[in-house]
Amino acid sequence: MIELKNYGSAGYCMLNKETGEISFSNTNKVSEFTGVYFKDDNTFFGIYPTKKGPVVYFKGEEYAINKDLKIQLIKDGKRRKFKIENYGVEIGYFESPFIGWDVWSDEIDVDLFFMIEQKYQDQDFYQKYTLN
């Protein structure tokens, strides 16, 4: 079980990585950073730190993130498509309505896929998503 925070808005979930069961809550149970998630009607996607670095959870599978991957975000108006080509991961979604909501709502702060695409080449990203 791992607790993840909803990226860009309030909410938490407990993800059982073995069974794929997810339970949602408005309160967190773990004080330290344990990862974040995106959820819409069709998709659940999480990213969390491990001893070997960042790992994403998608459709019941875990995928290691590294600098050698081809990760891209394709924007078409309000439609978005996030791709991790090496793993065949492709997620279509709509632009977050919270972009520009307030001074803390830049696109990188509310769109998990934009953040990953922008930061997966940076060492700071790997420090945050690697457990000691």
DSSP per-residue codes, 2-53 = EEEEETTSS-EEEE-TTT--EEEESS-S--S---EEEE-SS-EEEEE-BTTS
Domain range summary for the chain, segments of one domain joined by +: 2-128
pTM for this one?
A: 0.89
51 phi and psi angles, rounded to 5 deg: -65, -25
**Alpha carbons 66 and 75: distance in angstroms, whole number:** 23
| 44-103: pLDDT as tens digits | 999 999 999 999 999 999 999 999 999 999 999 999 999 999 999 999 998 876 665 665
What tokens does 88 get?
């065949």
